[in-house]
């Protein structure tokens, strides 16, 4: 299932070259991913943190294809993928799109850890959602 949110480049995210600074692309992806986690996975980052469960990123890869400019309106997508090795981690494949063209694409990998320390794990609710998710092959 592809989850989509729309955003507009903020003027303060523009650099001296009149394009969006590369550091902000992952932020827009994070906004979308956090909404996806809450809306689709039913996992509230804030509520779970209060219960001692932190969802964290373990890695990400990002590819910049085109640049965004001040005032551009674009969409960010998010899709859930299961781990090929069955490790306790989840993958979010994301894209920033504008005018049906890929601007940026990335894969974010995350897991949950106890706030007090301990081994990575996935809550049962997320494991259940992963059963119907495709496996990330790349």
What CATH number corresponds to the domain at position 28? 3.10.129.10
Domain membership flag for residue 9: yes
Half-sphere exposure of 100 (CA within 13 A, CB side): 0
Please report the sign of the dihedral spanned by the C-alpha atoms of residue 77, residue 78, residue 79, residue 81.
positive
Rounded to 5°, the CA angle 7-21-74 comes to 20
Per-residue pLDDT tens digits for 59-86: 999 999 999 999 999 999 999 999 999 8
Question: pLDDT tens for residues 81-136?
Answer: 999 998 999 999 999 999 999 999 999 999 999 999 999 999 999 999 999 999 99
Instruction: For the chain, report the end-to-end CA distance as a whole number of angstroms.
Output: 18
pTM of the model: 0.94
Q: Does residue 137 sit within a domain? A: no
Count how many domains the chain has: 1
Cα–Cα distance, 87 to 134 (Å, whole number): 15
Residue 103 lies in a domain: yes
């Amino acid at each position: 299932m592809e989850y989509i949110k729309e955003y507009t480049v903020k003027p303060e995210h523009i650099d001296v070259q009149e394009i969006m600074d590369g550091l902000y692309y992952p932020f827009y992806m994070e906004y979308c991913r956090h909404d996806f986690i809450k809306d689709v996975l039913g996992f509230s980052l804030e509520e779970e943190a209060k219960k001692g469960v932190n969802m964290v990123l373990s890695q990400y890869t990002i590819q910049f294809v085109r640049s965004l400019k001040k005032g551009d309106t674009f969409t960010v997508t998010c899709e859930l993928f299961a781990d090929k090795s069955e490790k306790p981690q989840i993958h979010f494949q994301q894209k920033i799109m504008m005018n049906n063209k890929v601007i940026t694409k990335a894969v974010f990998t995350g897991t949950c850890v106890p706030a007090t320390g301990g081994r990575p794990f996935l809550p049962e609710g997320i494991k259940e959602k992963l059963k119907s998710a495709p496996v990330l092959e790349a």
